[in-house]
Chains A and B, each alone.
Chain A
């Protein structure tokens, strides 16, 4: 279980809290959605869970399987099963996609990954996400379209097989076909890995037509103000955030 317990979070070198007493429990196999107005702390939450250097958690705790991860480095958190699909994946010129994935995989398994078997294994995964196999040899995210970047995040997910997946606006910048491909792959992953859980951060309920949530939460002013099922997301779509009756 991933448990966020009453956290306050600020940007490093600032006293201003972006998250203010946020709590959330995500059990195995569950899919949670966080929606909320711009600037309310959704991406901050995703990055804070992952241990991003720009964010400080100055109150509360984050636990995986009842153990605090706050003192763990970013890579140690990833090894605990956390995976953040980023809104705007970082471009790294000169580090090839295959080199990166192979290093990540061998970091996870603790064993050196043979290049030939790795490339062979990757072929099916590349086909699944409809990425051309030549993209394995290109610099990481460099010159990738918005859709290709998101598919590449899903490719990494398929290779690294994490348990706690955070999708930070995975639907932004995707055309309808790419959104379907991304979501089909996530659904297949969830079917094959029953213990995996999802935290989806989004502005639009469209993605929820593909990824069926168990819970929808509205984040406002750094705190979860209302929780419900998919009908809450549809209400937001129809009425906007201002008309949603939230807890004060």
Chain B
């Protein structure tokens, strides 16, 4: 991958805009923030991998528009949130392919884990105006699978440590992430 960006925000409202001209990975780690992200894929044959990992305590929103402004472009979004308290967390995730952009791949995977009884919403939208496009979306809101917790506990790991293992794997969901660069976020995971 040509370009790797790390973004960490903490208790803030933010607007981000990216013009993607080369293959890019964006690791976005967000602590209790609302974010509005606009991404434009502007060169043919570019690949974008966007990882949004979010720990949430108050009412917050995450809105992202990924626009395939030219054909032969590829986007993969992985949006993972943890809603810790009884608050609202809302994701609006829009993959946009206009009529003139053929042969695009536009995928998104969205999950929010509710630790307590928070109200979480995911709006996964694929706004595709071209027939020659490969596009998928998925959304899950819920808790960690009891089957996974059972498996971990059956080896002597208590529920708290089992949940911690799952949280780490869920919020740091790529082997390529440089952990030294997200120290603050790792410490925040410990607090959940």
Contact = CB atoms under 8 A, between A and B. Distances in A.
Q: How large is the interface on B (under 10, 10 to 19, 20 to 34, 35 or more residues)?
A: 20 to 34
Given A92-B169, A94-B173, A99-B165, A104 B157 contact: yes
Nearest to B151: A90
Contacts of A83: 154-155
Of A74, A77, A100, A104, most buried by chain B (CB within 10 Å of CB) is A74
B170 A74 contact: no
A86 B151 CA distance: 9
B161 A92 contact: no
A19 interface: no
A99 B158 CA distance: 15
B152 A79 contact: no
Given A95-B169, A103-B161, A90 B148 contact: yes
Contact of A52 (B148, B150, B169): B150
Given A90-B148, A103-B161, A156 B155 contact: yes
A50 B151 CA distance: 10
Given A53-B146, A75-B157, A75-B159, A103 B151 contact: no
Contacts of A74: 150, 153-154
Contact of A75 (B153, B168, B169): B153
B154 to A, nearest CB: 6
Nearest to A79: B156
User: Which of B150, B152, B154, B170 has the most CB atoms of chain A within a 10 A radius of its CB?
Assistant: B154
A162 to B, nearest CB: 9
B156 A104 contact: yes
B76 to A, nearest CB: 16
Interface in B136-158: 146-148, 150-158
Contacts of B156: 75, 78-79, 104, 107-108, 160
Contact of B150 (A53, A95, A104, A108): A53
22 contacts: A50-B154, A73-B153, A73-B159, A75-B159, A78-B156, A83-B154, A84-B154, A90-B150, A92-B165, A92-B169, A93-B169, A95-B169, A99-B165, A100-B152, A100-B157, A107-B156, A107-B157, A107-B161, A108-B156, A139-B169, A160-B155, A160-B156
Given A75-B156, A83-B154, A84-B154, 10 more contacts: A75-B153, A78-B154, A78-B156, A83-B155, A95-B168, A95-B169, A100-B155, A100-B157, A107-B157, A107-B161
Interface of A: 50, 52-53, 73-75, 77-79, 83-84, 86, 89-90, 92-95, 99-100, 103-104, 107-108, 139, 156, 160
